[in-house]
Amino acid sequence: MSEFLLQNLNFILPFFLLILGYSAGSIAEKRHYRSIERREQKFLALPAVTLKDVQDNEKTSGQLVIGNAVISIDYFKRALAILRNIFGGRVASYESLVDRARREAILRMKEEAAKAGAHIIVNMRIETSAIGQSANRKKQIGSVEAIAYGTALIKQA
């Protein structure tokens, strides 16, 4: 039996990695989503808007706040993406990835704003990019980076 495994290693190894990727990946993802939802509840009172002017007639000072997050893919997601590349369509495994990265980035930005004592973040922008794609030609995908930045308005006493 062990000889069979050794001989067909190049077939069994990816299968094993897939199982590992799927289990570890989905555990990490569930945990991350729970943390994100908990913190979003906490920061519900601190809005972030894309508007420049919220017309609240308060005397405020502004400060740039930034939050960013880099989330890595796992083996299972990569395999799904490659299969999708053949058949086309929506890459569901990636949508959760970028969603997590962006929401995490926004939360970190809000944390920074809260520390400065702001009550609102205006003119927020979000950028997403893929890291590790061109770093190594052989491997196709590495990770997704999201950055959220805006101006935090702090009430002047």
Q: How far is the CB of 105 from other proteins (least distance, A)?
A: 11
Instruction: Tell me which residue of 154, 147, 157 sits closest to 114, measured CA to CA.
Output: 154
95 near other proteins, judged by CB under 8 A: yes
Which of 44/157 has CB closer to other proteins? 44
Which of 95/115 has CB closer to other proteins? 95
Candidate residues 52, 135, 156, 157; the one interacting with other proteins per rule CB under 8 A: 52
3 state DSSP class of 57: coil
List the x/- string, 18-47, binding to other proteins by CB under 8 A.
x---x---x-------------xx--xx-x
End-to-end CA distance of the chain: 76
| 143: DSSP letter | E
Q: Tokens standing for 133?
A: 């794609």
125 near other proteins, judged by CB under 8 A: yes
Distance separating alpha carbons of residues 107 and 148, to the nearest angstrom: 9
